[in-house]
Chains A and B, each alone.
Chain A
Amino acid sequence: MAQPEWAVEVEHLVRRFGPVEAVADVSFQVRRGEIFGFLGPNGAGKSTTIKILATLLRATSGRALLAGFDVATQPTQVRRSIGIVFQDHSLDDRLTAWENLYFHALLYGVGRDEFTDRAQALLAMVDLLDRRDDVVRTFSGGMRRRLEIARGLLHAPAVLFLDEPTVGLDPQTRSAIWQHVRRLRDERGVTVFMTTHYMDEADHCDRIAVIDHGRIVALGTPDELRRQVGSEAVLVGAPDAARLAAEVAERYGVAARATGPGEARIEVADAAAFLPRLAADFAGRLESLRVHRPTLDDVFLHLTGREIRDEEASPLDAMRRRVMGRRRA
């Protein structure tokens, strides 16, 4: 069968829960082999969209294709094409880590030898090899999360869904997981569809959709999104900052101003290209040079009027999420 060009195609997807419109007319496409990110505050509709794509929820209206299969009418083919790490816990906590993995391997038809090798390697990756025969009930939250990720990677799906995979994990583990995910993409062409709250993780994505109140409010590469918010800037340290700013503005036709004693800010489209020219032309008058690029935090604030980190930190939201997590099996 010819491989479809798109790993995921979504057209006018809507999902209501009673009066709540969790997903409100969303359309987008994900390329094969792409790392695609969903960025949005709590309750934006990220998990709902993923569950529809994973055939766990029905759409109220609209259409979604996964690897060319319709999620509503060809659920088995879709399920055969995906792997998923849920946002909420989904381990059997009475089984050991190894038994959880073995169960997964049986469900997905991973052969015995293949299973042993991969399970060992994945447990090593998430640093749980020495706990493989311990019952999951005795694991900390972060350890459970790591095991869930290892399990999600155990079979080799065409499309891998990661719903806030690395929340609460330490930096080493996060970077190990990212390395693995990228290797999966590079070596096997796995498409990765993820949601995240971490801006630095969003930066790893090839493209990002910013979603708020069930709608996509922006879609593009991280750089494209940043450009929407404003240009890049070069921050200069110089004793005669004010004069320097004026000269720079005149010479290159860019916006430049002193932002304090001994400091100036120059707005440019492409800071990396501008830097060498500036350094050469003003050699001897510069004490320091720093590039400022808009962060995805800025992008998020600009698009939704809210700080994503505030939302994450809100204890009420955290509680709601826990409660919802338990109810939404």
Chain B
Amino acid sequence: MSREAAAAARVVYAIAYREVIRFLKDRSRWLGFIAQPLLYLTLIGYGIAHSMTFRSVPAAAHVNYLSFMYPGILGMSVLFTAIFSGVGIIWDREFGFLREVLVAPVPRWAVAVGKALGIAAIVVVQSAVLLALAPVAGIPLGVGMAAGVLGVAAVMGFGLGSLGIAIAARMQSMEGFQFVMNVLTMPMFFLSGAMYPLRGLPVWLTVLTRVDPLAYGVDALRNVVYGAGQEVRLLVEYPVGLDLGVMAALAAVLAVLGAWAFEGQET
């Protein structure tokens, strides 16, 4: 390995290391990432499960809404954590730490990539914990399924984390953070199919759901979470290959975008 490559690898590791350490230490984040899905599943999930049925599956099929919602909630959790962590660069700038990184003799793309990888690691840990909720949603836990979830979460975390980095790299204020959360993250969540199936929708809504990157992540999670025989499989939208292909391509593009946004900035 050349000297440059070794240096870049070291930087990627350093940035990812910091990201993970910060996450592991932050008790309020642990509380948050466990409580939020739990609230969604119980307070919204149970309510809807007991009051509504799916229009888009045959009446004879017994599809449990909680089973439908569970992968969506995993996806939501990955989305919020990834964007939140990526946008954390704004905090680093505000509190001065970013200078320590920007003045170091390291390629900035490596900083962006390291951060995205760190975020991927965080969402994997998080998803592993949330797998414990699967039985609550009527989904049997299995090794293959768990491995699938963690793999998909890693790709999603890397891509969505890069999106957050790209947005935050040139952003100067905390207000910007609120804006991102409201205008970008919430619609991405709503349109992702996490809460309702993406079929039989009006055309305008369908178009929006098709361009939502999270929709492919959530669908990939459904693909790996549902066992072969489950009726809820009826609500999977695309083949898993397509989901993964779209997400991988997107993650690559977003990583380049994040790295690019990070280059050449002043502090």
Contact = CB atoms under 8 A, between A and B. Distances in A.
Interface of A: 51, 54-58, 76, 79-80, 82, 84, 86, 88-95, 99, 103-104, 106-109, 135, 151, 325-326, 328-329
A149 to B, nearest CB: 13
Given A94-B25, A99-B21, A106 B96 contact: no
Contacts of A103: 14, 17-18
A103 B18 CA distance: 7
Given A106-B13, A329-B267, A95 B21 contact: yes
Interface size class of B (residues with CB under 8 A): 20 to 34
A326 B267 CA distance: 11
Contact of A90 (B17, B26, B100, B107): B100
Contact of B95 (A76, A82, A89, A99): A89
Contacts of A54: 103
A93 B95 contact: yes
Contact of A79 (B25, B95, B96, B104): B104
B34 interface: no
B266 interface: yes
17 contacts: A51-B267, A55-B103, A56-B103, A57-B266, A79-B104, A84-B103, A86-B96, A86-B99, A88-B96, A89-B96, A91-B96, A94-B22, A99-B18, A106-B13, A107-B10, A107-B11, A329-B94
Contacts of A325: 96
B238 interface: no
Contact of A329 (B93, B104, B106): B93
Nearest to A135: B25
Interface string B6-40: 01001101100110011001100000000000000
A240 to B, nearest CB: 63
A120 B19 CA distance: 24
Given A90-B99, A94-B26, A103-B18, 6 more contacts: A89-B96, A92-B100, A93-B95, A99-B21, A107-B14, A329-B99
A182 B98 CA distance: 29
Q: Sort A-B residue pairs by CB-CB distance and give the 7 closest, nearest first.
A: A106-B14, A79-B105, A329-B93, A80-B105, A107-B104, A90-B96, A90-B100
Contacts of B11: 106-107
A329 B171 CA distance: 12
A104 B120 CA distance: 22
Nearest to B104: A107
A216 B107 CA distance: 34
Q: Which of B13, B21, B96, B106 has the most CB of A within 10 A?
A: B96
Contacts of B107: 76
A272 B190 CA distance: 82
B141 interface: no
Nearest to A99: B21
Contacts of B96: 86, 88-91, 325-326, 329
Contacts of B106: 79, 107
Nearest to A55: B103
Given A103-B18, A106-B17, A92 B105 contact: no
B48 interface: no
B99 A56 contact: yes
A47 to B, nearest CB: 11
B186 interface: no
Nearest to A81: B105
Contacts of A151: 100
Contacts of B10: 106-107, 109
A53 to B, nearest CB: 11
A326 B94 contact: yes
B97 interface: yes
A93 B266 CA distance: 23
Nearest to A326: B94
B59 to A, nearest CB: 53
A95 B22 contact: yes
Contact of A56 (B14, B21, B102): B102
Q: Which of B10, B11, B26, B100 has the most CB of A within 10 A?
A: B100
A277 B97 CA distance: 59
B184 interface: no
A79 B103 CA distance: 6
Contacts of A108: 104-105
B249 interface: no
A329 B173 CA distance: 11
Interface in B27-80: none
B97 A90 contact: yes
B234 interface: no
Interface in B88-134: 92-107
A150 to B, nearest CB: 13
B100 A104 contact: yes
A84 B103 CA distance: 8
A76 B106 CA distance: 7
A17 B20 CA distance: 37
A58 B13 CA distance: 29
A22 to B, nearest CB: 13
